[in-house]
Each structure stands twice: as C-alpha cells, then as structure tokens.
A and B are shown apart, each in its own frame.
Chain A
Amino acid sequence: MTLYFVQRLAAVAGVITLMSVLVFLATHALPATIAEVMLGQYATPETVAALETKLGLTRPLLTQYWEWASGVLHGDLGRSLVMEVPIVPVLWTALGRSAVLGATAMTVVSVLGIALGVVAAVRHGRVIDHLASGFTIVGLSVPEFFWGLLLILLFGSYLRLLPTSGYGKLDKGAGSYVAHLVLPVATLAIGLLAHVARLTRSSMLEALDTAYVKAARARGLPEWAVVTRHALRNALLPTITVLAQDIGFLIGGIVAVETIFAYPGIGRLLVYALERHDWPLMQAAILVLTAVQCLANLAADLLYALFNPQIRYGRAVA
C-alpha cells in the first residue's frame, strides 16, 4: 500500500513539473510579449528591446524557467503585470473563495448524485428511472452558463429571491454570504449531478447483475442489505474514479460560473488575466489549478486503493 502511495506521489510530481514546463513555454511563445504589454501605448521596438533586456527576458528560456520554477518552490509566483502586486496573496484569496464554491458543489453533487443513481438503478425501468435519465441527459447537455442565466432570470429577476452576482463578505453577516453562494453552487452542481447520477446508476445496474448479488439474494438476505452492503460498495469504486475526472469539469465550470455571477474567485481571475494579457498571473493561475486537479486525482486514486481489497491486500493467502 505504501509503495502504491509513493508511486502515485512520484507520478503526480512528475505531471505537475511537466505541466509547469508546458505552461511556461506557452506563455513565452506569445505574440504580445510581456514587455509590450507593460509598455502599453509606449511600446516601440527600442523601448521594448530595452525593457526586455532589463527584465531579463532575453536570457535563455531554460534559465528563465529555472528562475521561475525555483521561485514557485519557494512560494513566490511572481508579480501581476496589470495589477502590479505580488501574485501569491491575490491568488490565495481567490483560491479560497473558489474552494468554498467547489467544495460545496462537490458535496451536494456526491450525496445527491449517488442517491439519485442508486434509486434509479434499484427502480430500473420504472417512472423514476426514466425521469432520472431524462434529467441526466438534460443536465449534461445544457451548458452551465445557460443554466446560470436561467437561474438568474428565475430567482433574480422574477422571484427576486437571491442576489445574482458578487460575493457577500462574511463580516456583513452569514446570511448574505450564504445567499451569494446559492445560485453559483446550484449552477455548478447541476451538470455534475447529472454526470455522477448517471454513472452511479450504470455501475449499480452492473453490480446488481452480478453473480454475487444473485448468491446473496439466494441466501435470503433482505433486498436493502443486498443493495447497500453488497452492490453499492462495489458500485462506488468506479464512481470514485470518475468523481476525480469531474474535478476537471468542476474547474472548467468554476471558470464559467464565476464569470456569469461575477464571483471573485480564481476562475474569474484567470479570465481577467487572459483578457488583459497578464501572463505571469495567467501562468500562476493555470499552474495552481492544474496542481489542484492532480492532487484531487491522487486523492481519488488513494481512496480507490483503500476501498478496493484487491489492491489493498495483494498477496494470495491460500
């Protein structure tokens, strides 16, 4: 087990390093260079060249990468070109806010999604199964930003129940904080919910069809025990794997959702950086988000290994 953990950790480290290289290369292959952006309307070939030399942008790529990378390892992600402040504090706050959004959405999705999937599988072929399938298809197909707009229309304009943008600071009261979270979380959750529910449903259907479930029924165990103790435990394994993939969707979703609802998280920060050509900020944001996904994948792998006895207890006993 520990060997497995070490292996996976090594793999994650490798992937993040590779990613950092890719991101670095991409930003340094840009048409509008950093120097041009900084100088804005004062950019002429001479001034650009001068600034580049001053900033050390003419040095070999490898050196620049090394400098940046060692900076990252020391906790320094550089300075934002546009805002002209160190990136780390800004990124950190934004990340925190996005984390709240993401974590809440994931929790809702996990609990509701698995429950919905199980119910649909157990009542396979009946009305609730078809309803669930219908909801799943719609939830997966309609893009998040459209859901977001619809929700804004419904709850913001017509019902006037909830705030449709921004962020409620905690010191202004927990009510405002929560209220500002509801719509973004709901929008994020819908697509993911559909995905998790559908996946759980199909794993459950498969599990309910296995020989060991038949054997358990033949032993006269009550249906609820068969479903929860036997089928569900085995069906959850593939779900864990996919939940990890969903982090990727979640991150994509966060970018879109924060844009719609003007929620000041890391997604919005990234879009801002892209629009304003703030390359250091963009570089840092992408690196952080990718690292988050890698770590989430790692966590999912470990959970999977923990729950799957075939990986956890390898060797044969008899």
Chain B
Amino acid sequence: MRLPPWRVILAGYVLAGIVVAAAGADWLAPYPFDELHVADRLHSPSLAYLAGTDEYRRDVLSRTLYGGRLSLFLGVAATGIGLAAGVPLGLLAGYRRGLLDEVLMRALDVVMSFPALLLVLLIIAVTPPGLGKTAVAVGILFVAPIARVTRSVTLDLVTREFIVAARARGERLSYILRRELLPNAWPAIVVEGSLRVAFAILLGAVLSFLGFGVQPPAADWGLMINNSRDFVETAPWLALAPGAAMSLTVIAVSLLGDGLREYLDPRLAYRQ
C-alpha cells in the first residue's frame, strides 16, 4: 500500500482535531454556549474571551466550539441517509438495467433539475424547522447524486468479466451486489460521500444563515454569521470565528475527499 499523499494526512489530522473539539466542547469550551456574561457585551477578543462576545453577551469561542457539533452532525447524518438509500438503488439500477434503471434515471433527472437550495427550502418550509428535519431533507436531496455516482461505477464494473464469471456460477443477486460489486465500487462511493459531507455542511450553514435552519439560541455557525451581519463594521470578530471554523472544516473534508480520489483511483486492481 502506498502512503497517502501528505494533503490527505494533513486534512485527516485537521478534521480529527475539529471532531475532537466539537465532541469535547463540554470540556474544552471555557463557558456554556448560552451563558450570558452580563457586563461584557460585544467585547472584542481578549484573554477572558478569546474570540470576543456577541450582542447577547455570550462567549463566541464557546459557541463556535459547540456549533461544530451541529454542523458535523448535519454533514454526517445527511450523507448517511443519502448513502443508505442511494447506494443500493445505484447498484441495483446499474446491474439490472431495464425498467428499474429507466425509471430511476428519469426520477434522478427530475430531482437534479431542482436547484438544491430550493428543494431543501421547499421541504423545510413545509415542516417546522429543526436539525433533524434539515438533516433528513438534505439527506433526501443527496440520494440522487449518490445513486447516480454509484450507478455509473456499477455500469463500469458490470462489463468486467469477473461479474460475468459470477453469473456463470449461478451466484445470487444479493451475493453479486454485496461481495463482487460493492467492494470494488466503494472507493468511488467514499470519495463522493466525503464531498457530500462538505456540501451538507455548507448547505446547512446557508439555511441557518437565511433563518430556516437551526433556531436561536442554539449555537450554529451559519446562525452566528447571520447575527453578525448587523455588527459587521463594529464587531467583525463575531463573524470571523465561526466563519473561519466552518471554512476550515469544509476545506479539510474537501481535501480529504480529493486526496482520497487520487489515492484510491489508480487502478487499485493492477499496479505492475
């Protein structure tokens, strides 16, 4: 096995750090995220408040750390839903072709014709806001691109002769999908999945920013940036901490996905 490129390793470490920081927010954050510090409104960064305080007298750093939980949860949950539904659909459609494939492709076409944001907004407008609902909405949105990628990888694999050999042995469909196709398809799926996580985090942030995602007083990066708009000139630090945190997270996830694509792609089959 070759060593993964340094970018992947670096991104992996950064991401791990973020996950740890978010998970361990209870211990790492200097203050609870909704604690009001009566005296210090809109305090610029100082030793007591490393990232300053916001207009409700809450510590920005703590809120940023807690905010990580929501974003990461959204990213992972939405992608998880997308994978759970999209991968089997893609595998089946790519392997069986026929009517199922045609119907799926038309359905995917329709879903992917919707601008992503609008689709999610639509779903959310219909239901009361909440993190769970957002995750499900984004997850449903993701089924389409994940199914599409899985399907195209499957189409590619189906022409390989070891699949035909499996059929010549009379293997059952479930065996072929599970043990012959999937193990060879998962690299592409992993890459797509990591890109989806990044996209989910961004989408969640935009939703919160527009006011349709998580509601106050929860600490969420998009929400924090939205609140900071009014104080952009007087208290720029309100936007900087959450913005930087989100950017770093998404960059790390993207780099990871990109690097994985390069690392896993070169004919994992034969390297002679």
Contacts and interface: CB of A to CB of B under 8 A. Distances in A.
B121 A137 contact: no
B146 interface: no
Interface stretch (A38-46, A289-297, A302-310): A289-297
Interface stretch (B23-31, B158-166, B204-212): B204-212
A286 B228 CA distance: 28
A289 B118 contact: yes
A297 B113 CA distance: 8
A255 B117 contact: yes
Which of B122, B222, B225, B250 is packed against the most chain A CB atoms within 10 Å? B122
Given A11-B109, A146-B246, A260-B229, A141 B122 contact: no
A140 B250 CA distance: 9
A293 B239 CA distance: 32
B175 interface: no
Contacts of A146: 225, 239, 243, 246-247
Contacts of B115: 247-249, 251-252, 289-290, 293
Nearest to B254: A141
B109 A274 contact: no
Interface residues of A, number: 47
A248 B116 contact: yes
A184 to B, nearest CB: 15
B236 interface: yes
Interface string A256-290: 10011000000000110011000000100010011
B255 interface: yes
A19 B236 contact: no
A137 B251 contact: yes
B43 to A, nearest CB: 19
A274 B212 contact: yes
Contacts of B114: 19, 248, 290, 293
Given A137-B258, A138-B251, A145-B225, A274 B125 contact: yes
A247 to B, nearest CB: 8
Going nearest first, the 10 A-B pairs with the smallest beta carbon separation are A252-B117, A141-B250, A251-B115, A141-B251, A146-B243, A248-B115, A142-B247, A157-B233, A15-B113, A26-B126
10 contacts: A27-B125, A30-B126, A137-B255, A141-B250, A143-B247, A149-B228, A149-B243, A255-B206, A270-B121, A274-B212
